[in-house]
Each structure stands twice: as structure tokens, then as C-alpha cells.
Structure 1
Amino acid sequence: MGIKRRGFLQGAAALAVGTTVVGCDVDVIPGGDDETPSSGPVIAIDVGAGGPKVSPLMTGVNGAKWYDDGFGMWDAKENAPDPDVVKKVKQSGVGLVRYPGGTSSNLFNWQGAIGPQADRTGQIEGKQGAPVDSGYGPDEYMAFVKAADLTPQIMAPFVGSTPDEIADWVAYMNAPEGTKWGDLRAENGHPEPYRVRHWEIGNELFGKHQRYWMSADDKTALRQYAFGGTQRQRRQPAAKPADHRPEAGVSDGEPDQTFTVRYPPVVPESQAVHVNRVSWHQVDDLSSANVRDRVYTFEPGSGTICFGDGRHGRIPPEGAKITVDYDSGPHAGFVDFYKAMKAADATIDVLACWASIDSGEYTTALSFPRLMAKHGHADEYDGVSIHPYTDFSRDLKISSFPDKRAGHDFQMIGELAAGKMVTDLQADVRKYGKDDAYVAVSECGALFFGGKRNMKAYPEYAYAMSHALYMASQWARFTAAGIPWTAGNDLIGERPGVSRTLLGGAPGFIRTPDALVREQLRGFFHGGGHAVETGVRDNVKVSARETVLGSSYSALMATAAIDDDGALGIVVVNRSPDKDIKARIQPEQFRHAGSVEVSVVSGDSYDDFNDARHPHAVGIEKTKAVLRSQEFSWTFTAHSVTLLRCAAR
């Protein structure tokens, strides 16, 4: 393996232990003088102070894309999930997988993606509006879930769906045979209900780049998301049923052309259709029009626009741009979706997706929980999902990495703010929501989004050891906060080779450091039990370049838990890029059996990553050691994740 043998053996010999966090603040620990452990970090673990249940769904992953056979997750020839992906996902200890994805899936039509492949309809990709396929549908997804022993989680599209359509999806996934949708599922080869519990409505609709029919005004859009409404669309390019690209709204000069608006239904008589900016006029029947008439017919429910054939109504000239002004709506809101879905299956959890983030902070001024409480709907959501990304441009106000070290440090600086986004939303939900409402994380990570950015100093930052340290730190915070499920990063990438994903792209599927840390922590998160309260004193601070979020960060981060066997597990993340750190562990109200099982994930450098030529540049090393006292010390290797497991006496 590529792990630093010197640091690992030094830690085993010194019998020094790591950091943990539980219950209250998740924080990092300081490192100190290797020769005088009393002057270094101290981790005080109070096993008697029980915290939240440790979730086996903590290390979930975003499926990201469903089209193109899930970028290789699905073997269409064998009509089965790719066995290499299944093997590596199971090996990595992934607990949950999100489907059909995020932005790309905001216009997904589930009914077009079931049944015989030849009968399936085209789809609209939610970011670019391009036409894509329906090959990897809900049944294929569930076959992958079953093969890889995963928990399913579905993002149900909001902007292009109705409550009845999504309630029908719930019924298709969960209803028994002897019902309409249960029988259809059985007809498609799957008689047993899938029992999908975790659902969320929409993806990042708080972001201005994902508003679709909704208002550009944030407060108006929040109300529309919660309660529905109507919104004027102006000079919007016409579309095709499965194509929202601008070129789909251009005339080919042929007779009897048909277009649609992007976001039906349309308020009757509200539309104005323009051909090269010239207004054309609606008629009830094209057969009565003459060759010169600039006319069209219109169906408000579907938003369908039909032009003439050159004898009965003009043909829009070839190359002409068709645009439409119209009132899109009325559309249903989250409350309508929630009621319809719970009527279909009262046992599911339905989460809202509106958790607005600005400049690295959760935006309380756009609070979905507060709006729902104000209007008497506090009981009509089971939770809120959030995407607490560290966006370097938005949060740290940078557009480039000055050097490789800065690319590492900026992730660690942003990680603390990302954790606070989650706990701030939790406070909002607890204040305004029902008692059992909760917060889940359906995407997370550290990335550049949009705009100009320069990553050439550290292009591997999103799949190197640095990012594995970021994710492990997030899992420590989320464990302490009691988050029930998390989907971080994407499962696989669009292109071959490594990428900002768990396994890279087809056909090689490389296990990234992120995947290795998940494997390392599988027992911790799948061991049942609960987190325990941990305090960290005298944490080492790592100095970094100045950013709006600060110029330093804590070196050590961790969490601790008692599993179902009574053993104490301690996860420690040393985020320092170059310093081994010794810390003293003080477990209160716990007596270990005199030994510790240890696993460490690291490489020779914080920028190490695995690829086809070097698949083990980052690896896992395991050992055992004897503990001679109840308090003990451990030296944590630089840029590493360490798991210490102490059996109870």
C-alpha cells in the first residue's frame, strides 16, 4: 500500500489515540509535542452521555445520472447491474444510493422509464435540456440496489410533475399486488413491493439556475415551492416534448410543425407566440386559415403549439426562432405533493428540498420551516434535505488554487462552514417543525461550481486524499448531529478514468480514497449503537492562506460511538497535510479490555490518489496493539483517517 509506514508504526508503538465527537459540537483535536503527550491534544470521551443513534446510511452516495445506463452501472446486454460496480460498492460499505440524481433529474418522467425498453419514452436532461434515454429506470435501479445490498432513496421531480404522478410512483414502488400499480410492477417482473421509504421533492430549487417555471425572486419562488402557483414566462424558446434545448425551438421549414411550451399547463388565453419576434395568432381550427395567415392552434393543458401546412396557415420559415410568452400554471406545491404521497403510503418519509445557502451559510431569511409554520402546515413535511457543499467561489470567494497546498487547505477551511449549514437548518426545523421532523444530506462535497475557475495547481483535489479527509470530517459532524442519512459525492463518472466520484468512470472503476474510507468505517456505521459525548481540548491549528472564512483550521476531527457489542469506536481525521499529531485519549465510564484494533487510510502525501497505474497509492492498513492503561496516547499520521476500536472489559 502507499501508506506512510513510519507514521503508522510510530502510532502503534506509542499507543496514542485519536479524536472523537458526539452529541454536541463536532470539533477537531490539536496535535502536540510527540515527546510530551500531556502538552498535546486531549480527547475526553464520556461514554455515559449517550448521543444519537449511529446510522448505517451515513456513507450514502448520489447516483447522479440515470441515462446512458447510469454511466455504466447497468449492463444493458445482460439486463443486470455491472458486477464490478456491485462488487466495489459492496466492498466500500455504501449504505444508500440516491436516484435518479440531482439537477439532471429535475424533469425526469418515471412512467416513461418502466416496462419494455422499446415502449419507453425519451427524457429531458434537467441541466442542458437535452434529450436522453430511459434505459436505467426505477426497476433497473432497484435491481442494482438489491444486488449491492443498498437502501434506496428517491428524488421525485417537482417542476415537471404533478402530485398524482408522484403518488403513483410511490404506489408503483411500494403497493402490493392486487392494486393497480402493484399489478403493473408485477407485470414488469417485480411482484414484491420495493418498500422505498426515503423520498425528497425536487432538487436545489432554491438556486436561481434551477427555477424552471418558478419566479426568479427568491421569496416568491419559496412560496411557489411550498404552496404552488402561476408564473409568467417571457420570450421562452419553444420546445419539443423531449427536448428543451434552444435549437428545439427553431423551425425546420416543414409543414405541420408541432412545438410545446417548456412548462405546461398554461393559463388559457395567456400565451403569445412569436416567430422571429413577430406575433402570430391563435385560431381554433387551421383548416379555415389561408396560405398567408400567421396562425397556430394551442392546447393549454399540454402547452402544444401547431402551425399550418402552407395551404392552411403559414409555415414558419426555416431557421425562424419560435418563442412564447405565457402564464405557466397553476402548479401544485410541496404541500399538495406531501398529501398525495402520504395517501399512497403513509409509512414513507417525504422531505422538502428547499434549504437555501448563500456565501457559505444557511439562509434563515428563506426558511421553508418558518413559512410552513406561518401558514399552518408545520406538520406537513417529514424533514428537509440540504446540500451543504463547500463551493470555493461562493463560500471562500476564490476562483483558483494558488498552489496545491492551498487546494488542500481551502477544503478544510470550508468544511467547518458546511457542517454549520446543517446544524443551522436543524435548529430551524426544530423550532418550526413537528417533533420528529429531521434533516438529511442528499448531496455534499467540496467543489468549484460555475463561473471561471482555475484548478491546474491541484486538478486531482476532488478525488485525492484531501477530499477523503473532507468527507470523513463531514461524517464525523453529521454523526454527532444525528443525521439519519447522507448521500455524498457521485457514484461514478461520465468519462473513463478517475473523477470526482466514488469509483471513477467505466470501464476501469477505480476505488478512490473516498471509497476506501467508507470501507474502513463500515463497521463503525453499520455496528448499531449510538454516538457518545466527546470533548476535544488544545487542538492544533493549521495555518493557511487568508480567506473570507479564515486563515486556519483544526488539524484533528473525529467522532466516537458505542456499538451493539459494547465496543468503543473512535474515528480520527488528521487533516494536517504534513504533521503527525500525538493526542491523549481519556475515555470516561468505559473500561477497555486492554487492546485496540486499528485501521488507517492514508498515502505518502495528501495529494495521493488511486488510478489504473497506481491503484494502491492510497490504501488501508490494519493492526492491533496492547493498551496498558485506561488513558492512552496515539500518534496520528499526517493526512490520514484512523479508526480505533476498543472492546469493553
Structure 2
Amino acid sequence: MKKRTGAIALALIAAGLTQVQLPADARPGDRVAIRVDQGPLMMADGVPAPPIAPEIFGANARWIDDELGAWDPATQGPAAGFADAAQVADLELIRYPGGTVANFFDFKKAIGAKTMVMVPSINQTAQDAADYVEYMNAPSDGAATNPNGGTDWAEVRAANGHPAPYGIKTWEYGNEPFLDGQRYWRDLDQQTRVRQFIEGGWSRQTAASATYQNDDGLFSGCDLVNRKTSTGAGGQTYRTRYPPIALPADTTPGSGPIAEPVLTVNGARWTRVDSLATAGPADQVYQVGTADGTVTFGDGVHGAIPANGATLSLEYTTGRHDGFLDFVRAMKAVDPGITVCSGWGKPEFVDAMGKRPYDCLGIHSYTDQHGGDAEGAYDSTELYQQLMNASDRPTQELVDLRKQLGKYFPDPRQRPDLTVTEYGTISQNGPTGVGTPSNFAAMQMHNVYLATMLIGQLGNGVQLSVNSNLNGGPNADPAKRDWGNILASPPGFGITGRSMTLTLAAPMIGAAPRQVTVAGNPVVAGQNYTAIVAAATRTKHGLQLLVVNRSLDQALPITVDPAGGPAVKSARQTTVTDDDITAYNNDQAQPVQPATKTLANDPKVDAELPPHSVSLIELSS
């Protein structure tokens, strides 16, 4: 089996650090010098990095199946063990109702929780989103306050048992619309699609142009997943995936020509009528509800009934759909104090928005992890090196976005913020069909990767970070439980190595990152990454250094130089690792644990970083 190395250039500035490298053959015994300056860390756009917010510890919660077992419908509260596990994990934020599965979420059938909210952009309107803000944030005061008109959603919230507003301040519009698999009604062309995402619009839906195989069918239910065939009953009503349905009479200069819908039953075209009431029993006709995208057939008296099992197909124009600008305007009209992030956190969105103001980008930081090469599966060493070679790439993307925003918004006070609303890895099968190992995302190698990403986020001013995901689905078989999330899957919600690793940074909350200089940082032999990445803060209690040793098998001795400031009275090091890079916590064993030891100081501090480890070094003054 041949060994492959990534083609990823070293992106040292990406971590917000100044690093001096030694050649690839640097002796592993050489001591690495880490200096933490008094001055602030200057980010890629020339702005000092802001203080680290508590929301840096977030998790993506998926609403389906009672949040994968985290919610107990019998008690209408968190499942047994969930609250305790979330508290131990220092979980500060939940992104709800999740990612891809949330695109068809209907908030009016759910009850809110204190969280960051992802607003669906496919089957919801700007008015719906404004209603959602009202439900979460408006005061329950009878008829005195009803900012969006119509239903007083604050009173609905009170009736659901929560009179006080939830006070949700951060919202996100859409989820990964740049992916073809999540474009839905929008155009296949990226430039057209990003304009539709921003400004709204219309789109013709046909079987030929649909992203998903069955998008041209008719559906029912809240998730619109399964295409329906005729039941043979009278008065059948179904929904399109992407209401509203636009008719020729709805044509505007902005829409362009709108063609008549084309509905077929077993391939035969039926005719749209304004009302079924005047149709005869054999007339092959249907009626549409334009606003909600419904299609209704006759009952055998007024209009024919499609034969049992008949295939139903519909070509139609959907729109006008609201866009990002419409949603932001409507949501902030209800609560001007909220922040609304764009779920298209990519360079093409920044260019398409130009100088138009907005609050923030919701960035999804992922790399693809392949399970094997052309000769078969990777062994654990190759899997680790592939992962580490990709680990600087998400940080470089943050750097590039920050620089790009600076060009459109020279005044830093007007510059949109960077938020990371999902991050992790996406596992892909290799060329031979081999996948990544079971519970790969729970392994120590993955913890090292995520900590590298977290350090890059701290160095680029990210104030809100959501790890993917909160927990896996329930499984009665302990051997099949998912430990590759912030919390293990129910029952039990055990504390994972991932949460132990990421929350090493908890003492840094509230302090602004400081400039870190790493001298003698070796490039890992034969690879495209340096061994050490680090971030540091200073508080009234002293200095906090979060440092990762990405070397697979070499411990690295380091010297930490506090570079002035109050005298160091004591020092300690807390490290999360295990000798085995494939180790992870489960029901039988918990090998990935934090270990703390006292360090000598005079006035610099010497320490040793174990291989493939994450450490927090604290110098108390």
C-alpha cells in the first residue's frame, strides 16, 4: 500500500500566529519556544481579535425523532441524563433545528428552546420567520404587543408554558444552499442561485432539472420526503415541495414568462381548473392552492379520481420566494436587536452582497475524509496523516473570508462577523468503496483535528462555533452507540473525548487572544503541516495557552515564555490524549481523559507535549 500526502500548502498565518519553521528533518528532541506577547493578536484584516465568547462551545441539534432521543415526549422535557451531560460538557449553545434536515422544518408545529435558531428558507416565508422571532422574543402582555400582526405568537408561547421571552439573539437563514443537494427550488447555476438566495425569485420545476430524483412529484407530511401515488380515494390533496405555485396571471417583469402547470397521471396530462365544483365525474381535472402549493383531485362526482397507484407528476413555476434580504428585513422589524447570519458562508456570497450591510456569515467548516485509496483501506497512520494534512484548510478559509470582507467594508465597525455554525469532517468512501472506521469521528485523531480548527477560529475572531453534532440517535445495542459527537447517543449521553478536548479552552472565555510566536516548530517529516498550533489569552488570573501537538509519534518539549507581565506563581498542564490514535470512550472503557500535572516555572515554563495531544497550559500570577 502506497502512502499519500496531502497537497495542502502550509498556512501558518491562518492560525493567527507567527511561526518560525525548521526544516522537515528537524530533530524531535529540539525544544520549541512559544512566546505569548502582551499585545493583542492582530487578525488577517488588521483588526485585533475580540474576546472569546461563551458561545464558542455550541452543538448542532437535529430536530428529527425528538432530537435523536434527547427530548422525552412523555415528560415534555430533556431525556434522562441529557441535562447533566450537557452541563459537564460546558455546552453553551444549541443550533436548532439542525442542518440539512431543518430545511423543511415548520416552526409552527414545534415548541422553542433557548438556542441559536436556523430559519428554513425553502418552505417558509419571511412572514413565517418574523412570526418565529415574535414567538421567541416578544413579551406576553395580552393585546399590548403584537409586532407582526395576525396571531399573537407571544401569547401562543405563554399558552405552551413559557410566558417569559426566550430572548434568542442569533439567527441563521438557510443551510448550505451552495451545495447542489440543497439548492431545492433554486437554479443549478451558482451565480444565479446566489442571487436567488439573496433576493428571492422564481424557478421552473421539472423532472429534468430537479436535484432530487422525485422532486417533480406530489407529497404529504411535514418532511415532504416520500413521493406519493394515488390512493384511489376521492378528494385527494397533496403538496408540492416548493410552494407557492405561480400561474401565468402572476407574471411580473421580474419573473419573466410563467407557463401553465403541467400535471400528469400515469403520463397522461390532466387540466387545471379554477374550481372542481363544475366538473363532471369523468373530467380529468385538478385544482391548485397557489399559496400553499396544494393539488386537489375530484371525488368522482365533481372531477375524476386518479386510479389507485397512479404516478403523479407536476411541472410548475415556484415563486415568488423570499430571499435573505426579505427575511432579515421582516425579522428585524419584529426585534431590531437580533443578529441574522447568512447560511451561505462562502466567497461568492460576499461578492454578490458587495457593500450591502448584513450581520454575519454562517460558515460550515468541513473537510472530506476518505476511507481508502485505490489500493484499499488506509491503515490508522495513513488515516491520521490524511486528516492532519487537511486540518489547516478550514482556518485558511476563515482568513480569506476575513480579508475579503475587509475589501467591501473598510470600516471594521460595519464589517460582518464570522460565525462557524457547523464544523467537523464529512466521511466519504474511498475508490474501492471502503469507508472510514466505525466511530472514526469519536477517535483521538479526530479530537486533535477539531482542536486545530478551534484554535484557528479563536485566531480569526469567531464568536459563535457549533460543532457537528450534539448527539447521535438512540440505540439499545451498546456496541452500536454513536460516540462521535459532543455527547454520546442515548440512553446515557456519556461524555465523549471530543467534549473533553474542546472544553479545555473554557478558561479562555472572556479574554482576547494574544499574539503567539512559535520558534522551532518542526514540519512533520514527509507531511505538509507543522507539529504545533497554539492560541493564548491573558486574564487577571494569568496566562492560558491552548496548544496541539499534531505529530503522530513524537513528544515535543516546549518552553513557554510569558514575555513580561506579572510574575508566574504556579503553572499546570492539562492534556487530553491516549497512546492509541484510534481510541475513543464508550460504555466499556473511557481511555480519552484529561490528565493534569504541575509544572516548574523560573520565570519561563518547560513542558512536554505528548504525541497527537491537546493541552491547556495555565500560568497563574
TM range (shorter): 0.7 to 0.9
**Is the 1:498–1:510 contact (alpha carbons within 8 Å) kept by the matching residues of 2?**
no
Give the aligned partner of residue 508 of structure 1.
Answer: 492
Q: Alpha-carbon deviations, 1:196-248, whole Å to 9, x = none? A: 11101010011110011111111111000000000000131111253523432
Distance 1:109 1:583 in 2: 53
1:75, distance to aligned residue in structure 2 (A): 2.1
| Residue 392 (1) aligns with residue 374 (2) | no
Tell whether 2:488 aligns with 1:484: no
Residue 383 of structure 1: aligned partner: 360
CA deviation digits over 1:5-25, x for unaligned, max 9? xxxxxxxxxxxxxxx999833
Matched with 2:176 is 204
2:521: which partner in 1?
539
* Cα separation, 2, equivalents of 1:513 and 1:271: 54
Alignment CA distance shift 1:637-1:105 (3 Å) = same
State the percentage of identical aligned residues: 29
Q: 8 Å contact 1:593–1:647 — kept in the other structure?
A: yes
* Separation in 2, partners of 1:303, 1:457: 41
Which amino acid is the alignment partner of residue 211 of structure 1? R
Aligned CA distance change for structure 1 residues 554 and 56 (closer, same or farther; 3 Å): same
Aligned to 1:518: 502
Query: Where does structure 1 lack aligned partners over 5 or more consecutive residues?
Result: 1-19, 114-136, 143-151, 357-363, 545-550
Aligned ranges 1:409-448 → 2 under 5 Å: 409-433=385-409, 435-448=414-427
1:44 maps to a residue whose letter is: R
* Contact kept? 1:571, 1:642, Cα under 8 Å: yes
CA contact (8 A) 2:483 2:585 kept: no
1:8 alignment partner in structure 2: none
Contact kept? 1:465, 1:618, Cα under 8 Å = yes
**Aligned partners of 1:411 and 1:446 also within 8 Å:** no
1:350 and 2:325 are equivalent in the alignment: no
Matched, 1:160 2:119: no
| 1:400, distance to aligned residue in structure 2 (A) | 7.0
**Contact kept in structure 2, 1:404 and 1:457, CA below 8 Å:** no
Q: In structure 1, what is the Cα distance between the partners aligned to 2:21 and 2:311? A: 61
Question: In the alignment, is residue 619 of structure 1 matched against residue 593 of structure 2?
Answer: yes
1:74 maps to 2:48: no
Counterpart of 1:416, as a letter, is D
* 1:372 maps to which of 353, 378, 387: 353
Q: Distance in 2 between matches of 1:89 and 1:513?
A: 14
1:412 Cα deviation from its structure 2 partner: 1.1
| Equivalent of 1:112 in 97, 106, 109 | 109
Correspondence for 2:512: 530
* Residues 453, 160 of structure 1: alpha-carbon distance in 2 compared, 3 angstrom cutoff: farther
Among 187, 191, 198, the alignment partner of 1:215 is 187
Superposed displacement of residue 633, structure 1: 2.6
Amino acid at match of 2:607: W
1:579-608 deviation per Cα after TM superposition (whole angstroms, max 9, x unaligned): 111122233233432420221111121111
Worse-matched range after superposition: 187-196 or 222-231: 187-196
Following the alignment from structure 2 to structure 1, what is the Cα–Cα distance between the partners of residues 616 and 441? 23
The AA in structure 1 aligned to 2:495 is R
SS at 1:340's partner residue? helix
Asked whether the equivalents of residues 274 and 323 of structure 1 are also in contact (C-alpha less than 8 Å), the reply is yes
Counterpart position of 1:359: none
Deviation at 1:468, TM superposition (A): 0.8
Relative contact order, higher structure (CA 8 A, sep 6+)? 1
Q: What aligned pairs does 1:231-246 form with structure 2 within 5 A after superposition?
A: 231-235=203-207, 236-242=216-222, 244-246=224-226
Q: CA deviation at 1:561?
A: 0.5
Distance 1:84 1:253 in 2: 47
Paired positions, count: 565
Structure 1 residues 400 and 530, CA gap change in structure 2 (3 angstroms)? farther
Q: Deviations over 1:260-309 (max 9, x none)?
A: 22111111243111112211101233343333321112222222211122
Pairwise CA RMSD: 2.5
8 Å CA contact 1:291–1:314 kept in 2: the answer is yes
Paired residues for 1:249-398 under 5 Å: 250-269=229-248, 270-356=260-346, 364=347, 367-373=348-354, 378-379=356-357, 381-392=358-369
Q: Deviation per CA, 1:558-581, whole angstroms, max 9, x where unpaired? A: 111012x24100111111221111
SS, match of residue 617 in structure 2? strand
Which residue in the other structure is 2:210 paired with?
none
Equivalent position SS for 2:618: strand
> How far apart, CA to CA, are the structure 2 residues paired with 1:540 and 1:495?
43
CA distance in 2, matches of 1:325, 1:436: 42
> Structure 1 184/502 Cα, relative in aligned 2: closer, same or farther at 3 Å?
same
Deviations 1:463-492 (A, max 9, x none): 111111111111111111111110012011
Q: Which residue identity lines up with residue 168 of structure 2 in the other structure?
A: V
Query: After superposition, where does 1:80-119 map in structure 2 within 5 Å?
Result: 80-113=77-110
Distance change (3 Å), C-alpha of 1:27 and 1:516: farther
- Contact 2:80/2:492, CA 8 A, preserved across alignment: no
> Residue 600 of structure 2 aligns to which amino acid in structure 1?
V
Following TM superposition, by how much is the alpha carbon of 1:187 offset from its aligned partner in structure 2, in angstroms? 2.0
Between the aligned partners of 2:184 and 2:548, the Cα distance in structure 1 is 40
Deviation per CA, 1:154-203, whole angstroms, max 9, x where unpaired? 10111111111111111111111222332222222111111111101010
* 1:552 to 1:503, Cα distance in 2 relative to 1, 3 A: same
